[in-house]
């Protein structure tokens, strides 16, 4: 019996419109697939991961 191995999942829109915005944390320009809302911080990938980590740590500390 033959099994077909599917390739990597493709993103629906690889060339999705990106909004160029400066990262709220390091100031580096980054692209986000959504329209950034006024007053909402936007992070580059690196900072986003850090912010998530910090948030998690905070939540754990508050517990």
Judged by the rule CB under 5 A, the positions of this chain that interact with Zn ion are 23, 25-26, 44, 47
**Min. distance of Cβ 28 from Zn ion in angstroms?**
5
Enumerate helices (H) and strands (E) in the chain, giving the number of each. Answer: 1, 2
Of 29 and 60, which has the nearer Cβ to Zn ion? Answer: 29
**45: which residues sit within 8 A by CB, 6+ positions away?**
30
Of 7 and 39, which has the nearer Cβ to Zn ion? Answer: 39
Of 25 and 32, which has the nearer Cβ to Zn ion? Answer: 25
* Local structure of 13: helix, strand or coil: coil
């Amino acid at each position: 019996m033959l099994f077909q191995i599917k390739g990597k999942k493709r993103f629906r829109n690889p060339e999705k419109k990106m909004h160029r915005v400066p990262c709220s944390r390091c100031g580096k320009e980054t692209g986000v697939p959504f329209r950034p809302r006024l007053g909402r911080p936007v992070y580059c990938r690196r900072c986003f991961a850090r912010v998530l980590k910090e948030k998690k740590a905070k939540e754990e500390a508050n517990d």
